[in-house]
Structure 1
Amino acid sequence: MKILWIVLSALSFSLSAIAAEESFVTISAVGDVMLGTDYPTDKLPNDQGRKLFKYSEAYIKTGDIRFANFEGTLFDGSKGAGSKSEGANRHLFRTPTEFARTFANAGFNVVSLANNHAMDFGVEGLYSTQQTLRSYQIQYSTKRGAEVAQFTVRGIRVALIATDFYPGPRSISAPEKTYQEIRELKKRFDVVIVSSHAGGEGSDALRTPNQTEYYMGENRGNSVAFARGAIDAGASLIIMHGPHVPRGLEVYKGHLVVYSMGNFATERGINILGTAGLAPLLLIKLDPKGKFQKGSITSFVQNREQGVIYDKTMGAFKLMQSLSYQDFAASAPQFDSTTSMIYPR
């Protein structure tokens, strides 16, 4: 808890600081969360995944907006129309709806459902996921272009939308409609946050190229071009996930881009070896116009026995710092390894 106190003090997140400095919004953000699956075989944890967040819950709850990318479905039914087909290297995640309580208790209040697992069990599975999240007052956004998660924080109006690499609405591969949506949202909201599921996957995808990426034959989009275009259209913050490993960060025109949050809390069925097991948790502070003020990267690591535990070696922080300097030498944020803080240049 000493580490948490240091981070919160540096970010001015204490109650006294909030009273003295009212015009800001904070976001706590993590990457992929998959609480366990019972399909095709039972790989569920015996505690409904509660141990996953035992050590990170206090950090998650420090944000006004508390975000994760939810991989899979909250669904108690069987495969129906529109379900994904099975095959080699094709995973279907079905998490019982009762597990949503664990997710809510951890503090999350908004998730992305724009990813390659949201439709694992077709429209019925997606509907169940949405309905279950609503029952726990957790907002969400899908790629369909209908849902906008909305918050008002200290008088600041905030919108969050989710995108992915598939064709159709909110696609980073054909982004013009998404850019137009951002422009329209910016007329109504002070801060527009864009989540994006994009990029290659695995240990070979640590670097962030400014070009279209492909994985298993799929066009996964150009993350850099999309992020910068979204900011040009009015986006305030870009949070990306999908590679299952952390990537670098940059500050573009005063706005933070996180090119991959990696995995955060995943049960059996997902690889957590090496860099795939690093679990960064970002705290980000934005001003009333959405400009990046400061933040922190708290390093956790996934452990099958203990859940997501604090990493004293700062593995995620050090990796994201190194990748930021390699891939975005002219636009990487400043990193302070003594406090785990990040700042605009």
Structure 2
Amino acid sequence: MAANVIIAGDCGPAHGPKDGFPVSGYIDLIVPTLQAADFRLVNCMRTYSTNAAESSDAPQVAQPVEMAELYTQAGFDGITMANNHAFDAGPQAMIDTVDLFRAPGIQVTGAGRNFADASQPVIMEKEGLRIAYLGCTSLGKSDGSAGSTTPGVLNVSINTSYEHRGPHAPVRILTNPDQTELAKLLVVVRNLRPSVDRLIVAFHSGVIRVPRVISDYQVTVAHALIDAGADLIVCHAPHIPKGIEVYKGKVIFYSIGVFAMTKPFAAPSWSEPAWSHGAIRNHMDLDPNYPFMPYGTDSRFALLAKAGFAKDTATRVSFLPVFFDQTYKPQALEAGDPRFTEVVEYIEWASVDMPHTFTVAGNEVVVTA
């Protein structure tokens, strides 16, 4: 009794057939890798509805319904919609998207008509082995957290404070999860855990675009989820890969990057002083070869997290290095490819001071303590 699960990151191209990008084109290089797994999971960053409200901040979120064919063509079994964009086009567009995925049998977690609905996990079963996938976020809109009778996402909000250390030192930014909301999430995890053999939590969180930096709250929440019973934590949101930690024998991916994403414009932050004066640009600029993936040079590669689950043995966790070509197609790399080494070395750099060991095994990188 064993099952392999592949978990992909942020997904939702904003360019379709009218722009010269066939929907199926985004996945034709990666489909063989996905099909080799028993189950496939991903984070949906868009809404697909005819009832979308206009959003001046993120107009790319509201996509035509036909763009959702990417998820069925890729064969995804489960989708998390617990993220910062699920509510951008309004609650009805979010609910329409949940229903659109569920209609052909794709399970959705992390968003729904109310807290109970948003807290429902994806359940995968193979030969008596039950695996759950639960989506949550710390980046939900202020009015977009699911309530007892209101739609939204499964959200844990974050409190931010600043420690001033004088004019000679940078201000320290302190971030902590709201304890009441975190407690509610942990109750969901504890109640779910006895009914499944393994539990994956997708935690949409983290500092976007800036390499290596992991926020205090991410560590706090990820550790608490494992203490409550989670077997694997997979984070996304920064749009670039970040470090990997092994905590109490369980693996935490602090960001696996994007899976298939495009956007027609760069974030306004690139015109802010921190970028234009070079304080952050020195570490990450926009890549002119990827004008429709304007998340920084490090977004040109990503990870697929992979878990091998069995009833009576320890979980085998690994990652598959992925690179994007200039038509925004992700492709899993082979170990002999120089880009494979580039990704592994980058993740080693991003994981400094975190407990971990990486071992190349075939075309995967196995993660152990």
> How far off its partner does 1:289 sit?
6.5
Instruction: Indicate the residue corresponding to 1:206 in structure 2.
Output: 212
1:299 to 294, 316, 321: 321
Letter matched to residue 323 of structure 2 = V
CA contact (8 A) 1:336 1:342 kept: yes
Name the CA distance, whole Å, in 2 between partners of 1:171 and 1:130.
17
Question: Per-residue displacement from partner, 1:274-314 (whole Å, max 9, x unpaired)?
Answer: 1012122222213327843242x222222342622455311
When residues 53 and 183 of structure 1 are mapped into structure 2, their CA distance, relative to the original with a 3 A threshold, is: same
1:243 to 232, 238, 251: 238
Instruction: Indicate the residue corresponding to 1:231 in structure 2.
Output: 226
Instruction: Indicate the residue corresponding to 2:44 in structure 1.
Output: 70
When residues 149 and 255 of structure 1 are mapped into structure 2, their CA distance, relative to the original with a 3 A threshold, is: same
Instruction: Indicate the residue corresponding to 2:155 in structure 1.
Output: 171
Matched, 1:35 2:58: no
> How far off its partner does 1:44 sit?
5.4
CA contact (8 A) 1:255 1:291 kept: no
Letter matched to residue 349 of structure 2 = S
Name the CA distance, whole Å, in 2 between partners of 1:260 and 1:44.
31
What SS does the corresponding residue of 1:76 show, helix, strand or coil? Answer: coil
> How far off its partner does 1:338 sit?
6.5
Match runs of 1:229-308 below 5 Å: 229-269=224-264, 270-271=293-294, 273-288=296-311, 291-295=314-318, 297-305=319-327, 307-308=329-330
What SS does the corresponding residue of 1:86 show, helix, strand or coil? Answer: coil
Letter matched to residue 250 of structure 1 = E
The TM-score with structure 2 as length reference comes to: 0.73
Instruction: Indicate the residue corresponding to 2:346 in structure 1.
Output: 319
Name the CA distance, whole Å, in 2 between partners of 1:276 and 1:29.
17
When residues 299 and 44 of structure 1 are mapped into structure 2, their CA distance, relative to the original with a 3 A threshold, is: farther
Instruction: Indicate the residue corresponding to 2:187 in structure 1.
Output: 180
Instruction: Indicate the residue corresponding to 1:160 in structure 2.
Output: 133
Name the CA distance, whole Å, in 1 between partners of 2:196 and 2:224.
18
Name the CA distance, whole Å, in 2 between partners of 1:225 and 1:116.
20
What SS does the corresponding residue of 2:20 show, helix, strand or coil? Answer: coil
Letter matched to residue 321 of structure 1 = E
When residues 342 and 128 of structure 1 are mapped into structure 2, their CA distance, relative to the original with a 3 A threshold, is: same
CA contact (8 A) 1:31 1:241 kept: yes
> How far off its partner does 1:75 sit?
1.6
Instruction: Indicate the residue corresponding to 1:334 in structure 2.
Output: 358
When residues 158 and 310 of structure 1 are mapped into structure 2, their CA distance, relative to the original with a 3 A threshold, is: closer
When residues 195 and 264 of structure 1 are mapped into structure 2, their CA distance, relative to the original with a 3 A threshold, is: same
Matched, 1:124 2:92: yes
- In structure 1, list runs of 5 or more residues that go unmatched: 1-21, 212-221
What SS does the corresponding residue of 1:245 show, helix, strand or coil? Answer: coil
Letter matched to residue 156 of structure 1 = L
Question: Per-residue displacement from partner, 1:127-147 (whole Å, max 9, x unpaired)?
Answer: 211111112321111244422
Structure label with greater radius of gyration: 2
> How far off its partner does 1:95 sit?
1.9
Q: CA RMSD in A?
A: 2.4
How many matched pairs?
Answer: 297
Name the CA distance, whole Å, in 2 between partners of 1:188 and 1:290.
18
- In structure 2, list runs of 5 or more residues that go unmatched: 147-153, 157-176, 265-292
Question: Taking every aligned residue pair, what percent have the same amino acid on both sides?
Answer: 21
